[in-house]
Amino acid sequence: MSNVSQITSPDVELRVLVYSHDAGTRSRVMSALGTRPHPDLPRLHYTEVATAPVVIEHMDAGGVGLAILDGEAAPTGGLGLAKQLRDELDTCPPILVLTGRPDDRWLADWSRADAAVPHPIDPLRLREAVTVLLEDD
Q: Can you give the residue ranges of every domain in the chain?
A: 3-136
pTM, rounded to two decimals: 0.91
DSSP letters for 93-136: --EEEEESSGGGHHHHHHTT-SEEEESSP-HHHHHHHHHHHHHH
Superfamily for 3-136? Answer: Response regulator (3.40.50.2300)
> Helices 123-136 and 23-33, interaxial angle, to 10°?
70
Per residue in 117-137, pLDDT (tens digit) is 999 999 999 999 999 999 876
Per residue in 55-113, pLDDT (tens digit) is 999 999 999 999 999 999 999 999 999 999 999 999 999 999 999 998 998 999 999 99
